[in-house]
Structure 1
Amino acid sequence: MSLPDWLVLAGTLGFIVIYGVWKTRGSKDIEGYLKGDNSMKWWTIGLSVMATQASAITFLSTPGQAYEDGMRFVQFYFGLPIAMVIISVTIIPIFYRLKVFTAYEYLESRFDLKTRTLAALLFLIQRGLAAGITIYAPAIILSSILSWSLTITNVVIGVVVIIYTVSGGTKAVSVTQKQQMAVMMGGMVVAGVMVVRFLPADVSFGDAVAVAGKMGKMNIVDFSFDWDDRYNFWSGITGGLFLSLSYFGTDQSQVSRYIGGRSLAESRLGLLFNGLLKIPMQFFILFIGVMVFVFYQFNQAPVFFNQATKERAEATKYASELQQLEEQHRTISVQKQAAVRELVANIQAGDEAQADITSVKARSLVKQERAVRANVKEVIQKALPMAETKDTDYVFLSFVTNFLPVGLVGLLLAVILSAAMSSTASELNALASTTVVDIYRRSVKQEASSSHYLFASRAFTVAWGVIAIMFATYASLLDNLIQAVNIIGSIFYGTILGVFLVAFYFRYIKGNAVFMGALVAEAIVLYCHFYTDIAFLWFNVIGCAFVILFGFIFQFFLNRKTT
């Protein structure tokens, strides 16, 4: 990177951290540290909720997801606005009435301590894993771009986040997330404008969208039903709804964002604000990925997007084989560019029939390119057995570093690191508050001063930060990262949501029954994950439904046993 890029990157991140520490310095008690003294306004809550969900994985993986698979991933979020309305109407008032620090406190008053502890532990497991991935996601890519070791990159990201999270707690997280969202969205808007500007002069924005459609990338809504299909309207509106209900209604990393609102109305407005803007935001980020795909229809795309790994493989005995494949890829690319040029001419002439014929030819050449890329990955795997060959998450960053002008590269890297810091800070804060409130204060040390619990909150923040850094350092890259995070969440969220829905709506079911039902439901979800091909979004529905079902069954037999 150039000096201006370094200055933009360091200046942006430095300002955010210093501002967060200064603005939220001096938390005196656990109320201020974990709930921000209930001082958050609705726009702060809304931006904080969005920034918590929009990790670095969003900005690294989502454009790559669209590059490979088109726009259909946006269907994943179709259930989110409905979930925001349900949570605002039913769940937030309960949390406010009970004045809880965490979502899981409510479960003890409704059921018993063991159910509260089980839900808290399930959250700690899945969120602890996710925290490691949210650090690892940008670190593994930025380490190659910046020529740093992966361990150093993990540590730098983790330590910076720990500093301001430990300093100011929940309020520091929420305050800094406003600046981080401004950087993130501003940077993505700039990237979107630039990729369109880089298209050939005779290709208009409308032509680019039409090309994307003919190439099968504008597949926004799919009404076909398939249990094994991860992204269609039905999985999004049902599985996505249940995932959103669980994530925003029972995940402490999100609950802590809105229970610190100045009033019930402020918290509700913040969540509804998120529901209104989330789908357009994800649509825009996916669309940037589609435009990057269109850009590479007129320009030579890398045969492997992780350039650092490719160069290492070229230093082995497999160099000639890689060179042959790259030449083959270049030849196909030239043919594809000619076909796409012909497609644009058909579109501009209004000849739909010929455009359809030409698009079939262009898409066939894209398939040939993918086949060559697959062969390249196999060769790299032979040359470097420990190397990661899944390069989808490098697509957008490769475009940024190779084509954006000086200064903007630093800004886009600041976007990625800001997103990593934002999401990780929320996770560490939630992990610490759940550990202190639901485990430590409730079951380990019940009688202590407020200052002791404040110190414990800071200590557990550091501890979870260290654990996340360690997991990030020794983790392996999991397929597409944004899918990996959502898969981990789906394995646990359905069960947690089921417990909460029983607590809210099924008074018949008591603590022992829901506890046993949750254990059975989680076992079934794990079986589905490891031994079936059911798409992960359905895990949320399955886990939730089986908690309720087995809760009723166990309660029926427990009632018969006592009569």
Structure 2
Amino acid sequence: MAVLDWIVLLGTLLFIVGFGVWKTKGSNSVDDYVRGGQTKWWTIGLSVMATQASAITFLSTPGQAFHDGMGFVQFYFGLPLAMIVICLVFIPIYHKLKVYTAYEMLETRFDLKTRTLTAILFLVQRGLAAGITIFAPSIILSAVLGWDLRTLNIIIGILVIIYTVSGGTKAVNITQKQQMFVIMIGMFFAFFFIMGSLPADISFGEALKIAGANDKLEILNFDFDTKNRYTFWSGITGGFFLALAYFGTDQSQVQRYLSGKSVRESQLGLVFNGIFKIPMQFFILLVGVMVFVFYQYNPSPLHFNPAANEAIKSSDLAGDYAILEEGHAELVKEKRMAQNDFVTALKLKDFNAIEQAKINLIKVNQEELHNRESARILINSADPSVETNDKDYVFIHFILNNLPRGLIGLLLAVILSAAMSSTASELNALGTITALDLYKRNKGGEFTQKQFVYATKGFTLVWGVIAILIACIANLFDNLIQLVNIIGSIFYGNVLGVFLLAFFFKFVKGNAVFIAAIITQIIVILGWYQDWMSYLWLNAFGCCLVIVLALLFEVLDQTLRRPPIKT
């Protein structure tokens, strides 16, 4: 990295942290610290988007598109429907009850133990997720830049802790506006740089046709196979339940729109998210597809993870890997020639020539995929502990090896800003839930405003330390963006079902819900472990299961309580 990159990177991060602390100094009231004061709808909308758009989004999603195409966007198809339900049902109830957390309502409707159980489920899954959102950029940046992994975890964690503990929800909301601005500016710069780096005779339309010829633009998949992770049906159902649970019951999101000064402001903020979230994800995936097109004309490494390359080249299998690299270099040349033939055929509008060029193009790319797979197997044989799945390294490799000075610093700031924005929301929510739903409610007694704020700050700090520790012991999973969604899917469906029981099944009591929730959580974890279905379907499965079990237990309980009929 050049000096200019360091200036841009450090300047951006320090500005965000300093601005957050400065704008929220003196936030000592519960309304300011927990609810964030009277927030306007556009701040809510940007904050909601920034909370969901972690560093994992900007590291993993382009790599996901590079390897598998645009199909991942189907994951978000259920989101707009979820926003409508939350706006019509959840938000009016939360505002009417004047709650600070989503789980307060469950005690009013059921009992304290149900409130405590759902709060604990949230703390478990969101605590893990907070560690992963720190770990994700750290492990990638440490591998690519040679920075120490634990040092990065600690630096990111401390930066977030400073302004989150200082200003609470208000600080999170304010800083996330700046973070979203940095994020989108950086992604647009990356996209236009890629387009400018393609051969002069390649237009955007032709770049899309090149991607389409390699099956990167297949957005819709109507397959009914529940083992298939990303289909239209899994997105519209499993994605709907996941979004409904995440935005409707996850305190890291609920706390964002509870800060709205009215029901209408909160609703407008979520509508904003529902309208712009899919286009944003589509654009990020498109950047990944354009990175694929870029590497059709430019040399790419056989494996994008530098740690894996280092491990294999220092092993006894280095000679075999060198042979694969030679083959890869030849395929790079063949691929460029095949792309030129394909584009020439497109310009001539010769159907037969286009089809033949497309066949040749697909053949070369299939050979490259086979070569990459052989490299992965070889790396795994040399060192099983090294991560061979390089999806998460594709975009950062492109950034560091192809972007001009200054822009590299900006894109690294994008990644770290995204990590900070998501982690800040999570720590803010974890501290609030621990202080209000567990400590204050179970300890009893009266709390002054200042005491409650201090308690929340203390628990936020504790969760920040826990998140850093989790980040330091975490391991890379198949794909980081999938890992976060898997963790959410294991818990979200169950919690969502409890909320739906509270809203729509008035005769069901707390005992039935409590027992049903415990059994459901055990079954869902078992189902995930045994791979009964794609993780997205776990959201719908958990939600439906806890509702059915609670209804059965309540009917059984009422039947047993009913006095016998006298004869």
Output the TM-score relative to the length of structure 2.
Answer: 0.97
What residue is the counterpart of 1:221 in the other structure?
A: 220
**Residue 397 of structure 2 aligns to a residue in which SS?**
helix
Deviation (angstroms), 1:28? 1.5
The 5 A counterparts of 1:96-245 are 96-245=95-244
Aligned to 1:377: 376
- For residue 445 of structure 1, report the CA deviation from its aligned partner: 4.5
Q: For 2:99, what is the secondary structure of its paired residue?
A: coil
Deviations 1:50-77 (A, max 9, x none): 0000000000000000001100100110
Aligned position for 1:393 = 392
Larger CA deviation: 351-360 vs 282-291: 351-360
Contact 1:60–1:138 (8 Å) recurs in 2: yes
Tell me which residue corresponds to 1:2.
2
Amino acid at match of 1:144: A
Question: What is the alpha-carbon distance in structure 2 between the residues aligned to residue 360 and residue 532 of structure 1?
Answer: 36
Q: Verify the 8 A CA contact 2:144 2:305 in the aligned structure 1.
A: no
Aligned partner of 2:88 in structure 1 is 89
Conserved 8 A contact 2:144-2:397: no
Q: Does 1:408 align with 2:407?
A: yes
Paired amino acid for 1:3 = V
Aligned pairs for 1:539-550 within 5 A: 539-550=538-549
Q: What CA distance in whole angstroms lies between the structure 2 residues aligned with 1:149 and 1:418? A: 19
Does 2:62 align with 1:60? Answer: no
Tell me, yes or no, if the aligned pair for 2:392 and 2:480 is still in contact at 8 Å.
Answer: yes
Q: What does residue 41 of structure 2 align with?
A: 42
Q: Identify the residue that residue 30 of structure 1 maps to in structure 2.
A: 30
2:345 — aligned with what? 346
Letter in 2 for 1:560: T
The answer to whether the 8 A contact 1:304-1:391 is kept is yes
Shift in alpha-carbon separation, 1:508–1:332, aligned structure 2, 3 A: same
Given that 1:28 and 1:451 are in contact with CA atoms closer than 8 Å, whether structure 2 keeps it comes out as yes
Q: Which residue of 1 aligns with 2:483?
A: 484
- Indicate the residue corresponding to 1:306 in structure 2: 305
Tell me how far 1:340 sits from its aligned partner.
1.9
Q: 2:565 maps to which residue? A: none
Paired residue for 1:264?
A: 263
* Deviation, structure 1 residue 322: 1.7
Q: Is the 8 A contact 2:311 2:386 kept in 1?
A: no
- Determine if the alignment matches structure 1 residue 522 to structure 2 residue 558: no
Displacement of 1:308 = 4.1
Contact 2:313 2:321 in 1 (8 A): yes
* 1:402-428 residue CA offsets vs partner (Å, 9 max, x unmatched): 010010000000000000000000000
- Given that 2:508 and 2:554 are in contact with CA atoms closer than 8 Å, whether structure 1 keeps it comes out as yes
- After TM superposition, the structure 1 stretch with the greater mean CA deviation from structure 2, 107-116 or 301-310, is 301-310
> Cα offset for 1:363?
1.9
Note the alpha carbon deviations across 1:321-364, whole angstroms, 9 max, x for none. 22111111112222222222211122222233432333233223
Change beyond 3 A, Cα 1:94–1:333: same
User: 1:222, 1:348 → 2: CA distance?
Assistant: 30
The equivalent residue for 2:254 is 255
Alpha-carbon distance in 2 for matches of 1:343, 1:92: 53
Q: Deviations over 1:187-209 (max 9, x none)?
A: 00000001111111111111001
2:503 matches 1:504: yes
Q: Is the 8 A contact 1:214 1:356 kept in 2?
A: no
- CA shift at 1:533, angstroms? 4.4
Distance 2:359 2:111 in 1: 61
Tell me how far apart the structure 1 counterparts of residues 304 and 292 of structure 2 sit (CA, whole Å): 13
For 1:248-304, what per-residue CA distance to the aligned partner results, in whole angstroms no more than 9, with x for missing partners? 000000000000111111111000000000000000000000000011111221101
Report if aligned partners of 1:107, 1:503 keep a CA contact under 8 Å in 2.
yes
CA distance in 2, matches of 1:356, 1:104: 58
CA contact (8 A) 2:335 2:365 kept: yes
Residues 449-475 of structure 1 show CA distances to partners (whole Å, capped at 9, x for unaligned) of 332221111111111111111111111
Contact 1:494 1:539 in 2 (8 A): yes
Residue type of the alignment partner of 1:31: D
Paired residues for 1:310-459 under 5 Å: 310-459=309-458
Residues in 2 aligned to 1:372 and 1:444: alpha-carbon distance in whole angstroms: 61
Q: Determine if contact 2:5/2:406 at 8 Å carries over to the other structure.
A: yes
1:260 counterpart SS class = coil
SS of corresponding position for 2:69? helix
Q: Matched residues in 1 for 2:471 and 2:174: separation? A: 26
Alpha-carbon separation, structure 2, partners of 1:352 and 1:224: 30
Q: Distance in 2 between matches of 1:263 and 1:114?
A: 30
Q: Give 3-state SS (helix, strand or coil) of 1:459's partner.
A: helix
The answer on whether the counterparts of 1:297 and 1:337 sit within 8 Å (CA) in structure 2 is: yes
Aligned to 2:530: 531
> What residue in structure 2 maps to residue 11 of structure 1?
11
Residue by residue over 1:353-389, the C-alpha shift from the partner in whole angstroms, topping out at 9 and shown as x without a partner, is 4323332332232222122222222332333332222
Output the amino acid matched with 2:459. Answer: F
Amino acid corresponding to residue 131 of structure 1 in structure 2: A
**Offset of 1:126 from its aligned partner?**
0.6
Determine if contact 2:45/2:272 at 8 Å carries over to the other structure.
Answer: yes
> Aligned equivalents of 1:171 and 1:351: distance in 2?
60
**TM-score scaled by length of structure 1:** 0.98
Q: Distance in 1 between matches of 2:277 and 2:14?
A: 27
Q: CA deviation at 1:549?
A: 0.7
Q: What letter corresponds to residue 320 of structure 2 in structure 1?
A: E
Alignment-mate amino acid for residue 387 of structure 1: V
CA deviation string 1:7-35 (max 9, x = no partner): 00001111111000000111123332111
Unaligned runs of 5+ in 2: 563-567
Structure 1 unaligned residues grouped into runs of 5+:
none
Number of residue-to-residue matches in the alignment? 562
Task: Answer whether contact 2:427 2:460 (CA < 8 A) is retained.
Answer: yes
Q: C-alpha deviations, 1:81-115, integer Å up to 9, x for none?
A: 11111101111010001111100000000001111
* 2:512 is the alignment partner of 1:513: yes
SS of alignment partner, residue 386 of structure 1 = coil
Give the CA deviation at 1:312. Answer: 4.2
Q: CA deviation at 1:231?
A: 0.7
CA distance in 1, matches of 2:517, 2:358: 50
1:195-235: per-residue Cα shift (whole Å, max 9, x none)? 11111111111100111111100011122221111111111
Partner SS state of residue 36, structure 2: helix
The C-alpha deviation readout for 1:483-507, integer Å capped at 9, x for no partner, is: 1111110110000000000100111
CA contact (8 A) 1:128 1:431 kept: yes
Q: What's the % identity of the aligned pairs?
A: 55
Would the aligned equivalents of 1:207 and 1:348 in 2 still touch at CA under 8 Å?
A: no
Whole-angstrom CA distance in 2 between matches of 1:181 and 1:34:
22
Q: What is the identity, as a one-letter code, of the residue corresponding to 2:279?
A: P
SS of the residue corresponding to residue 26 of structure 1 reads coil
The answer (yes or no) to whether the contact 1:217–1:290 under 8 Å persists in 2 is: yes
Could you tell me how far 1:80 is from its partner in structure 2?
Answer: 0.5
- Write the distance in 2 (CA, Å) between the matches of 1:402 and 1:529: 39
* Cα distance between partner residues in 2 of 1:542 and 1:446: 40
